[in-house]
Amino acid sequence: MQEGLRLQVFFLCLGAVLWTTIASGMHRSSGLRERSHRHHSSLHRHRERGKEGQVLHRSKRGWVWNQFFVIEEYTGPDPVLVGRLHSDVDSGDGNIKYILSGEGAGTIFVIDDKTGNIHATKTLDREEQAQYTLTAQAVARDTNKPLEPPSEFIVKVQDINDNPPEFLHGPYYARVAEMSNVGTSVIKVTATDADDPTYGNSARLVYSILQGQPYFSVEPQTGIIRTALPNMDREARQEYDVVIQAKDMGGHMGGLSGTTQVKITLTDVNDNPPKFAQGEKIHSSGFSEDKVPGEEVGRLKARDPDLGENGLVDYRILEGDGMNFFEISKDSETQEAVIKLKKPVDFETKRSYTLRVEASNPHVDSRFIAWGPYKDTTIVKISVEDADEPPTFLVPGYSFEVEENAPGGTVVGRVHAKDTDMMNNPVRYMIPRYTDLEEFFTINPEDGMIKTTRPLDREAQSWHNISVSATEIGGHHQDAKVRVNIKVKDVNDNAPEFATQNEVLVCENVTPGKLIETVSATDKDEMAHRQHFHFSLAPEVVNNHSFSLKDNRDSTASIFVIRKGFSRMTQDVYHLPIEINDNGVPPMSSTNTLIIRVCSCDSKDTILSCNVEPFILSAGLSTGALIAILACIVILLAIVVLFVALRRQKKEPLIIFEEEDIRENIITYDDEGGGEEDTEAFDIATLQNPDGANGFLPRKDIKPELAFPLRPGMRPLGTTVDVDDFIKTRICDADNDPTAPPYDSIQIYGYEGRGSIAGSLSSLESVTTDSDLDYDYLQSWGPRFKKLADLYGTKDYADDNS
């Protein structure tokens, strides 16, 4: 570019070589700049032939450049030459000035404004900033006028291997199943290098294992850790500490390295069957014969070194003569087999049992099934031990019968128990008192014979349920109990009686021959089959002329009326004795009285009344009238009591004593106007006393505490009780007391507007303020203001006298 600025770019390319070659490199770069410049001068004359012989003309252009290079971490004594800028218009006379701007211009990078040489004045770190963008321009030195447009270029920081590899996520934790095949992937570790991966081998990493061989290996390029040995057994060793190294420069000498730790844990697989301990192929266990079903009689355990569900063990009974007497379960916490009693055993019957027990894994890994079988068996011998058992009754319960009313000492029955132990101790019998509180029975302690102590009544208690205890003599005094149920057989010793004792009601106008009642009977004794009651009238009433009886031969009887003309006034109640026989053995009979009451009925035989009270009340007042009279009497008594209470009530005293405050009885009058400036239509809330701005406002609801002498003629109030004199004295005192506020009105205004000729009419405000106003003009206001004129005139007179 001949018309504009033509910058010749010379740069120094420094690689990963020793710093001693920098000077020669700079010399070669300078020569390159000169050659490049000469090469550029002859570019427009250069011609080039193609393969076909035609002449190609290259268009004329400036030197193409856009970046410089500078090595990082340079620590030499002199600034590093980055490159040189040169313009075609620069003739070397010093009239051209080179200017540099952009990132780091003036601080990191400086330019010689005469020669265009660019130097780096500080040590650069590629990891902090990899490149800098700068702008160069040539201007006239005397006028600073740009001679060419500015040109932008980049200074790249060339990397050196100054950062070791780092494992950012270490230490690592990994798990791999035991018995894994060789080459099984465990975990991948990754290291990072802050150096430039695009330049040289500074960031090319190679992984190696420093610790953990020969169990594990690592892929050099990927960092994947794999198993290196087959059949690693967790039960032998569970954890491994592996150290992995990452080295840059492709692992060559001089490269930087970093390490990390990897903790590898072998996880469990089901590769071990359960085993009963050596020497325990026959387990022995013993228990006492007095254990009950469900109780534990022994335990055994097969050990499995695996973990979790791989170490679970199930147990079962395969065979043995004790399969019907014992059952097996598992304790889920201890993984032990628990042998429990299924049925009671007897030492005297069989003293030992044998069981064959199998232990197996419920979860078998198919990969290791060839290593099986995953089960084991053992023989369990269980011996029954003799226990001091209580005596045993020959039957689990006894039932006896005894006749009712049998005399005391009657034999009821006999119980028998014996000691089944080898000692066969004798047995004694007794009846626990809590089962026979009234002591109806007694038992012979030697032979178990039960007898009555007195006659028994079946109707009072038909069954007696007692217990008999048998205790062995000697040993541990074990005892056993048996239930004895004694039934009291019935004897016909109770006479029959009416089933119900209701009265029979019959109308006065009853028709002869009418059935008025069907009676039945009951008997406390047991009724035999086809046994029924027989009814008949008592001999003394067989020939009565009012009622008759018919035995229905089904344990009931019908009562009929045999005459008419019953009258309550003549006889209202009839007693009919009836004899009842139960036909038992021996036969029992009783006489029961049937009460028949005569009632008043209407034409439809509906009973109206069955007593004589209506006839007595008919001559006087009814019940309702009597209740009404009583209610009126009660009300009148209440009125009298209330009237007497009101009459006796204490009256209010009419005399007002001296200590009472008359102001409690003052009547509030209508409000007054707000003055000439009142524009709020009697809005009293907006009125304020400007004189109270100093913080002091006199109270208008209490008497001022100013001490003024009494005016001549004023006298103390006497203790007379004359109301008229009392009121007059109070009025006189109020009229002559200049300190007394106008208590005749509750609404007292302290301010009634500014600019009013009258000013405030409040006597309170006038008394409590130090005003120099002349109140003589009040004399000309008329009789309505005479009181005010006298008050303030008197005050002035009093002041003058003082």
Q: How far apart are CA 74 and CA 79, in angstroms?
A: 9
Q: Tokens representing 191?
A: 């290291």
pLDDT-derived band at 84 (thresholds 50, 70, 90) equals confident
Per-residue pLDDT band for 314 (boundaries 50, 70, 90) equals: very high
With a cut of 50, say whether residue 474 has pLDDT above it.
Answer: yes
Q: How far apart are CA 272 and CA 275, in angstroms?
A: 9
The helix/strand/coil state of 733 is helix
Residues 614 and 610: their CA atoms lie apart, in Å, by 10
CB 404 within 8 Å of CB 489:
yes
Order of strands across the sheet that contains 441-443: 411-414, 449-452, 441-443
Q: Say how many residues make up the chain.
A: 802
Distance CA 800, CA 789 (A): 16
Q: Which of 577, 581, 452, 453 is nearest to 525 (CA)?
A: 581
Distances (CA, A) of 293 to 68, 154, 297, 635: 98, 96, 10, 84
Per-residue pLDDT reduced to its tens digit, 601-637: 988 888 888 875 544 444 455 677 888 899 999 999 9
Question: Helices marked H in 608-652 — which ranges?
Answer: 613-617, 623-647
DSSP summary character for residue 311: G
**Structure-derived torsion over alpha carbons of residues 136, 139, 143, 144, reported in degrees to the nearest 10:** -10
Predicted local distance difference test score (pLDDT) of residue 7 = 32
Residue 586: asked if its preceding bond is cis (omega within 30°), the reply is yes
Burial class (CB in 10 A: 0-12, 13-18, 19+), 527: middle
Q: Judge contact between 341 and 300, C-beta under 8 A.
A: no
What is the arrangement of strands in the sheet containing 172-177, beginning at the earlier edge strand?
Answer: 172-177, 257-267, 239-247, 206-211
Is the pLDDT confidence value at 112 over 90? no
* pLDDT at residue 755, as a whole number: 53
The percentage of the chain sitting over the pLDDT mark of 90, rounded to a whole number, equals 34
Confidence of residue 225 (pLDDT cuts 50, 70, 90): very high
Backbone angles phi, psi at 691, to 5 degrees: -75, -15
CB 37 within 8 A of CB 30: no
- CB neighbour class for 295 (10 Å; exposed up to 12, middle 13-18, buried from 19): exposed
582 burial class (0-12, 13-18, 19+ CB within 10 angstroms)? buried
Q: Look at 677 and 485; give whichever has higher pLDDT.
A: 485
Q: What tokens were used for 449?
A: 């014979």
Mean pLDDT taken over the chain = 77
Contact between 519 and 504 under an 8 Å Cβ cutoff? The reply is no
> Lowest-pLDDT range, 420-429, 492-501, 579-588?
420-429
Higher pLDDT pick, 585 / 165: 165
The tens digit of pLDDT for each residue in 660-687 reads: 444 445 555 555 555 555 455 444 444 4
319: amino acid identity, one letter? E
Q: What is the pTM of this model?
A: 0.43
HSE (side-chain half, CA atoms, 13 Å) at 591: 8
Predicted confidence (pLDDT) at residue 493 exceeds the cutoff of 50? yes
The pLDDT, as a whole number, for residue 104 is 85
Could you give the domains of the chain?
67-158 (2.60.40.60), 172-267 (2.60.40.60), 275-385 (2.60.40.60), 392-489 (2.60.40.60), 497-609 (2.60.40.60)
Tokens 């079903």 belong to residue: 293
Residue 346, CA distances (Å) to 266, 472, 544, 610 in order: 53, 19, 81, 80
pLDDT, residue 743, reads 52
Report how far residue 9's alpha carbon sits from residue 452's, in angstroms, rounded to the nearest whole number.
Answer: 142
